[in-house]
Amino acid sequence: MQPAELQRLVQIIVEEVAAATAIPARCSCHALLFECCPDRLSGILGAGATRLGMHASGGPAGTVASMIDHTLLKPDASQTEIETICREAAEFHFATVCVNPTWVALCAERLRGTGVLVTSVVGFPLGATTPDVKQYETRRAIFDGAREIDMVINVGALKSGDLRLVERDIDAVASACRDGGAISKVIIEAAYLTDDEKVTACTLSKAAGADFVKTSTGFGPGGATVADVALMRRTVGDGMGVKAAGGVRDLAGLQAMVAAGATRVGASAGVRIVQESRGQQPTAASKGY
């Protein structure tokens, strides 16, 4: 990260992230919350190998399934298809189903008592709505039954260097998730960003108190890559989740993402992946939407 970017991050974090009440320990170099210190984050980047010790191979099939958000976000998805992924999620014990907001209440109803949660998307897929609108979307999705929220950052603001707006954008959703007892995931849409911008987006997400950073919407010019997942993991350290999404279609792809540092994977081919982990031949209907 360039010195000028670090300085802008310092200003943002000082003004909008450092809490006014019960402030915890601060670093002596910048008087910031220790977890947000730019020098510390630079050290994490330099270390290069920090990741959570989770493996997608060698364990039971349930371990693989529990890392997957079983995803159906295509605009023409029918109710029948949504109900199908709910049945699959209950059968294979995925972490969540990930659906557009209009389907949240239905999925919450179908999955009640199964242990499978519902993820909804916010500001999807462009990220170009305003922070207050994203916050309302978040609250409504939680009201309807979502327990995890995947929000898209304002990519244009980040590319323009308006880091204050990006931080407000993320915080609007992360704070609503905290209020509603939901997990927040920040989609940085890495395919549009330089490596420095990816680091900045992840740093702002961590500073705003988000729970995960996520690679992609699946609707951009590219999906998850091993290099991006590794960079994101190095940036956020082991205190946040990293979700790889977009183009993970088989067990080998999931294993590569986990080896790079992912702790959650978004995939429409979740059934196929679990079947492969069990040594089964994937069925024709399990290859993803």
In angstroms, the CA 278 to CA 266 distance is: 19
In this structure, is residue 177 part of a structural domain? yes
In this structure, is residue 107 part of a structural domain? yes
Average pLDDT, the chain: 85
Reported as a single tens digit per residue, the pLDDT across 78-101 is 999 999 999 999 999 999 999 999
Catalytic residue (choose from 69, 211, 214, 228)? 214
Which one, of 120, 116, 119, lies nearest residue 87 by Cα?
116
Does residue 171 carry a catalytic annotation? Answer: no
Domains in the chain: how many in total? 1
**Are the beta carbons of 69 and 98 closer than 8 angstroms?**
yes
Phi, psi values for residue 210, rounded to 5°: -70, 160
Domain with 165, as residue range(s), is 52-286
Phi, psi values for residue 71, rounded to 5°: -115, 135
In this structure, is residue 146 part of a structural domain? yes
Tell me the CATH number at 220: 3.20.20.70
In this structure, is residue 47 part of a structural domain? no
In angstroms, the CA 90 to CA 86 distance is: 6
Does residue 185 carry a catalytic annotation? Answer: no
Catalytic residue (choose from 69, 150, 169, 211)? 150
Supply 133's token pair.
């609108």
Reported as a single tens digit per residue, the pLDDT across 139-191 is 999 999 999 999 999 999 999 999 999 999 999 999 999 999 999 999 999 99
Strand partners, 212: 185, 241
Does residue 159 carry a catalytic annotation? Answer: no
How many other C-beta atoms lie within 10 A of the C-beta of residue 114?
A: 14
